[in-house]
């Protein structure tokens, strides 16, 4: 076991992990690494918004606009709001997809014992508690499955270490030493895009 890496980091919580919420910003000039599954999910959402959701909402707004006073037309007001949300999301997805660098975690590599993007890492803390995380893109975070972004404090502490190394994570809750037990490179499953998850369905709301 070797004491290899010490990283000064600013974690998002006491354990140096991320929380699910708004998309994580990419540091200026950094690569936009993403797994094949994450890239497909973003592309599926982009195509659904462009080819189905936006045309549907646009048609509904046009229909609502023809029904008189727009200032008191709930369908029109909601539709315009939803259209702005869709366009904002499309712009975001366009930028993410344009800059994406797809990296397959399962692709052969020279050194499979060293931690880089796409690694699945099992480590133990000083209390011998073990945890496994997978290092993924900023739009693929899923803490319930142990998916952390490659720019997160925990990932930054792990990256470039090898099996058997001990890394130091400086978190608000204190300093932790983590021993790398296992490094694997394998397919990292991603939940598929599901139409309208997290949003009201405009087909139900706008046509009521």
Whether 16 and 153 have beta carbons less than 8 Å apart is answered as yes
Instruction: Check which CATH number belongs to the domain holding 72 and give it.
Output: 1.10.287.180
Q: Is 176 part of a structural domain of the chain?
A: yes
pLDDT digits (tens, 9 = 90+) for 152-205: 999 999 999 999 999 999 877 788 999 999 999 999 999 999 985 434 443 343
Q: Is 45 exposed, middle or buried (0-12, 13-18, 19+ CB in 10 A)?
A: buried
What is residue 22's predicted lDDT score, i.e. its pLDDT? 55
- Rounded mean pLDDT, 101-130: 96
| Domain region containing 116 | 2-20+103-185
Query: What is the model's pLDDT at position 67?
Result: 81
In CATH, what number is assigned to the domain containing residue 165? 3.10.50.30
- pLDDT confidence of residue 173: 78
pLDDT in tens, 57-92: 999 999 988 887 777 788 899 999 999 999 999 999
Pick the last residue of a domain from 101, 117, 134: 101
Q: Which of 33, 39, 20 is nearest to 151 (CA)?
A: 33
Q: Do both 92 and 119 map to the same domain? A: no
- State which of 52, 80, 101 marks the end of a domain: 101
Whether the predicted model's global pTM rises above the 0.75 cut: yes
Q: To the nearest whole percent, how much of the chain has pLDDT over 90?
A: 68
Confidence check: pLDDT of 94 > 50:
yes
Task: Clarify whether residues 12 and 81 are in a common domain.
Answer: no
CB 168 within 8 A of CB 20: no
Check if the beta carbon of residue 190 is closer than 8 Å to that of residue 174.
no
Identify whether residues 62 and 114 lie together within a single domain.
no
CA atoms within 13 A on the CB side of 35: 31
């Amino acid at each position: 076991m070797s004491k290899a890496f010490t990283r000064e980091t600013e974690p998002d919580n006491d354990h140096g992990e991320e929380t699910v919420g708004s998309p994580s910003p990419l540091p200026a000039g950094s690569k936009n690494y993403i797994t094949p599954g994450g890239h497909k999910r973003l592309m599926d959402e982009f195509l659904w918004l462009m080819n189905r959701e936006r045309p549907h909402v646009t048609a509904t707004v046009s229909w609502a606009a023809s029904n008189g006073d727009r200032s008191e037309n709930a369908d029109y007001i909601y539709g315009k709001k939803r259209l702005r949300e869709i366009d904002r999301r499309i712009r975001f997805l366009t930028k993410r997809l344009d800059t994406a660098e797809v990296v397959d975690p399962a692709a052969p590599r020279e050194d499979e014992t060293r931690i880089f993007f796409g690694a699945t890492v099992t480590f133990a803390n000083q209390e011998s508690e073990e945890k496994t995380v997978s290092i993924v893109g900023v739009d693929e975070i899923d803490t319930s499955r142990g998916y952390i972004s490659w720019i997160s404090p925990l990932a930054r502490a792990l990256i470039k270490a090898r099996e058997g190394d001990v890394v130091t994570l400086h978190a608000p809750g204190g300093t932790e030493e983590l021993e790398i037990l296992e490094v694997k490179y394998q397919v990292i499953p991603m939940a598929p895009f599901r139409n309208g998850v997290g949003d009201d369905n405009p087909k139900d709301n706008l046509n009521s």
